[in-house]
Amino acid sequence: MKLSQSSLILLLSAIVAITPLSIDMYLPAMPSIAEAFGVSLHMAEATVSIFFLGFGLGQLFGGFISDQYGRKQTTLLGLIIFTFATLGILNVPSIEGMLICRFIEAFGGGFVAVNAAAIVRDRFEPKDSARILSTVASIMMIAPMVAPLIGSFIIKFGEWDYIFYFLSGYALFLFVAVASLLDQKKVKREKVSFKQVLQSYTTVFKHRQGFGYLLTGSFATAGMFTFITKASFIYMEHFKISESMFPIYFGANVCFMIVLSKTSSHLVKKWQPKRLLKIGLLQMLTAGSLLFLYTAFESQPNLYVILPLNVIYVASLGFVFGNVDACCLAFFPKNAGVANALFGVTKFGFGAVMGLIVGLFEGYGFAAPFMVMFITSVLANFTFTTMTPEPKKDLSFAS
């Protein structure tokens, strides 16, 4: 069945929505999960970090398999893995079992999400592809705001595991939709060995500036993922925000990130992406510094000091995302796919590592997540400054 362009956009948006739904929808239920398994909230939050790790690896392997065997088959395989792993979460007796299932679930989710852009590239010319993917991205910005609201609504009328029933049902719906609606585009594919793919990755690693942008974006993203991992601890455990109010506090960050993302899209017509990236990184560093210093020296932090600083920190990604990708990929016109895949792996990999590292600083109390957010902002600015210098022929940031 041949889909219209608008129908394809809706289907692709639903496909990539599986990521924010899987991450953000169960955040309001984190205290309930910790209580159900008899573990600390920090242990329950590790299920978010392990998801980041599995998702990054899923993108890496899923991208390679997709290039070899087709987008539709790889997407369907990913949805099968995701569905069975999600159902497995409903039957595990311990938090360790949930961690294993979340990793497998994320691995399948990576197979699914990595195919969206490839499906578009197979069907449209570059100009139309950019427009369609931009539309999908715009729709997808809403998902992280809606996901906690859905989760909060579900647990208001049921238990936390109902969220995973919803996710498994959503994955089954996508499986039927992809199987029945998405045609297998006939694309001539050159068989490439995994060894050749690894050699392409080496090309990216060896390019100082390109790799510098990759690290910059990964450290910046890790800061945001640290916040996502610890959002339940910050708002629900420390400030005693209710499950029904949590989505509003969490959604404020996403809302302002969308505003800055749209602002960046407008300003990039006049300014170079690197200039906008620098602004975003400095904004992140400023907010990260203030958050860490305030929580380190204030014994009773005020919610209405923490909230706006969190919003400023997360919103800065509106100037980072897109611009750091553009700066990085400009160095790899022949290996853009490889560089983009590697970008996805390192972003989610760094996010997983930083989320787990926060647990090691549990003794620092409420300041722990903000210390890690501050460190990642410092590292992002450091790699940006030292590894992506301005070319001598053009020392200005202006276009």
Show me where the domains of the chain are located: 1-182, 192-399
Which of the pair, 339 or 292, is modelled with greater confidence?
A: 292
Average pLDDT for residues 142-166, to the nearest whole number? 93
pLDDT > 70 fraction of the chain, expressed in percent and rounded: 92
Q: Please tell me the number of Cα atoms within 13 Å of 239 on its side-chain side.
A: 18
Q: Please tell me the number of Cα atoms within 13 Å of 136 on its side-chain side.
A: 24
For the stretch 71-117, pLDDT in tens is 899 999 999 999 999 999 999 999 999 999 999 999 999 999 888 87
Exposure of 79 by Cβ count < 10 A (0-12 exposed, 13-18 middle, 19+ buried)?
buried
Look at the alpha carbons of 360, 375, 338, 74 in this order and tell me if their dihedral is positive or negative. positive
Q: Backbone phi, then psi, for 160, in 5-degree steps?
A: -65, -30
The per-residue pLDDT for 337 is: 66
CB 51 within 8 A of CB 102: yes
Reported as a pLDDT band with limits 50, 70 and 90, residue 309 is: very high
Q: Measured between alpha carbons, how far is 57 from 63 in angstroms, rounded to an integer?
A: 10
The per-residue pLDDT for 121 is: 74
CB 143 within 8 A of CB 17: yes
The per-residue pLDDT for 399 is: 38
Q: Does the fold of domain 192-399 match that of domain 1-182? A: yes
Q: Please tell me the number of Cα atoms within 13 Å of 67 on its side-chain side.
A: 15
Three-state SS string over the chain comes to: CCCCHHHHHHHHHHHHCHHHHHHHCCHHHHHHHHHHHCCCHHHHHHHHHHHHHHHHHHHHHHHHHHHHHCHHHHHHHHHHHHHHHHHHHCCCCCHHHHHHHHHHHHHHHHHHHCHHHHHHHHHCCHHHHHHHHHHHHHHHCCHHHHHHHHHHHHHHHCCCCHHHHHHHHHHHHHHHHHHHHCCCCCCCCCCCCHHHHHHHHHHHHHCHHHHHHHHHHHHHHHHHHHHHHHHHHHHHHHCCCCCCCHHHHHHHHHHHHHHHHHHHHHHCCCCCHHHHHHHHHHHHHHHHHHHHHHHHHCCCCCHHHHHHHHHHHHHCHHHHCCHHHHHHHCCCCCCHHHHHHHHHHHHHHHHHHHHHHHHHCHHHHHHHHHHHHHHHHHHHHHHHHHHCCCCCCCCCCCC
Average pLDDT for residues 221-225, to the nearest whole number? 95
Reported as a pLDDT band with limits 50, 70 and 90, residue 1 is: low
CB 301 within 8 A of CB 246: no
Within 10 angstroms of residue 386's Cβ, the number of other Cβ atoms is 10
Average pLDDT for residues 185-196, to the nearest whole number? 65
Which residues make Cβ contacts (< 8 Å) with residue 116, sequence separation at least 6?
A: 12, 15, 16, 133, 136
For the stretch 228-271, pLDDT in tens is 999 999 999 999 999 999 999 999 999 999 999 889 988 988 89
Exposure of 238 by Cβ count < 10 A (0-12 exposed, 13-18 middle, 19+ buried)?
middle
Exposure of 348 by Cβ count < 10 A (0-12 exposed, 13-18 middle, 19+ buried)?
buried
The per-residue pLDDT for 107 is: 96
The identity of residue 70, as a single letter, is G
Which residues make Cβ contacts (< 8 Å) with residue 238, sequence separation at least 6?
A: 366
Mean pLDDT, all residues of the chain:
88
Which of the pair, 137 or 228, is modelled with greater confidence?
A: 228
Q: Tokens 């990755």 label which residue?
A: 201
Average pLDDT for residues 274-287, to the nearest whole number? 96
The per-residue pLDDT for 130 is: 64
Reported as a pLDDT band with limits 50, 70 and 90, residue 397 is: very low
The CATH classification number of 192-399 equals 1.20.1250.20
The identity of residue 332, as a single letter, is F
The CATH classification number of 1-182 equals 1.20.1250.20
For the stretch 335-362, pLDDT in tens is 666 777 788 889 899 999 998 888 777 7
The per-residue pLDDT for 71 is: 86
Q: Measured between alpha carbons, how far is 94 from 113 in angstroms, rounded to an integer?
A: 28
Q: Measured between alpha carbons, how far is 231 from 26 in angstroms, rounded to an integer?
A: 11
Which residues make Cβ contacts (< 8 Å) with residue 396, sequence separation at least 6?
A: 390
Reported as a pLDDT band with limits 50, 70 and 90, residue 192 is: low
Q: Backbone phi, then psi, for 50, in 5-degree steps?
A: -70, -30
